[in-house]
Amino acid sequence: MPTGRSPTTTRTRRAIGTKFRMGLFAANWLVERINRAYVREAVARYARGRVLDAGCGQRPYAEFFTAYIGLEYDRARYAASPADVWGSGMDLPFGDRSFATVFSAQVLEHVPEPWRMVEEMARVLEPGGHLILTAPHIWGLHEVPHDYFRFTCYGLEHLARRAGLEPVEVRPMAGYWVTAGVRFCYYLRHFARGPLKPVVSLLYAPIQLLAWGLDRIHRVESDAWNYLLVARRA
């Protein structure tokens, strides 16, 4: 069993279930909300001090932190990113023990050698600091051709230990029904053209709400779409 795997807390469920807004009619609104809810809870429990966001993109999680530095890799590929620093996750441009917390969300699958990135994130962590990381388990191709890997909970634990970190918890983000429901919505996007586009968009909400409800009734975590890893440097 994964180290420290814990059930979804009531606070996380409430965060997922609030503020639906217009995102309700997007194909991925449910996984986006689940991801943010899990990250918010992990940050509240483990993050402290100076934080590195390795692969910050558009900095969607910056609001969760105070002393925040966002790093991105390729200026040409991510020209619109408001990154603070540019550099490779496999060769971080920081000294040893530079950060109390390292965060990385949905980045590891895009790194050709993910074990090197985990080793680098461990290197720049202070003793006692935490790595907070999310990565996909079951998901379609995206950002091609820079989409290389998928990760099981055991694979993430292995990468952490290989880098000298001790896994604190590995949590599946929902189960089979959320994975199936959202993947079906992505399939429906193939038909979201012309006069069918508004019709298909209207289907996203009931499909994902049903998937979320079924997942709460019968949660099959081995088919989780995504995992959250928290690991500590001794």
* pLDDT at residue 128 greater than cutoff 90: yes
d(CA 115, CA 91): 12
- Is a pLDDT exceeding 70 seen at residue 122? yes
Beta bridge pairs of residue 132: 103, 230
Tokens for 134?
């999310």
Q: How far apart are CA 234 and CA 218, in angstroms?
A: 37
Write down the pLDDT at residue 90: 98
The tens digit of pLDDT for each residue in 37-91 reads: 999 999 999 999 999 999 999 999 999 999 999 999 988 888 889 999 999 999 9
Name the more confident of 20 and 71. 71
% of residues, the chain, pLDDT over 90:
86
pLDDT value of residue 20: 40
- Range in 21-35, 72-86, 135-149, 171-185 the model is least confident about: 21-35
Alpha-carbon gap, residue 97 to 41, rounded angstroms: 24
At 170 the three-state DSSP class reads strand
Cis-peptide, bond into residue 198, ω within 30° of zero:
no
Is the model's pLDDT at 11 over the cut of 60? no
Do 137 and 220 form a contact (C-beta atoms < 8 A)?
Answer: no
Kindly tell me if the per-residue pLDDT of 9 is higher than 60: no
Using the predicted structure, report yes or no on whether residue 24 has a pLDDT greater than 60. yes
pLDDT averaged over every residue in the chain: 91
Q: Are 89 and 119 in contact (CB under 8 A)?
A: no
What's residue 18's pLDDT? Answer: 40
CATH code of 10-233, in short, is 3.40.50.150
pLDDT at residue 13, as a whole number? 43
Whole-structure pTM value: 0.89
Q: Which pLDDT value is given to residue 75?
A: 86
CB of 90 within 8 A of CB of 117?
yes
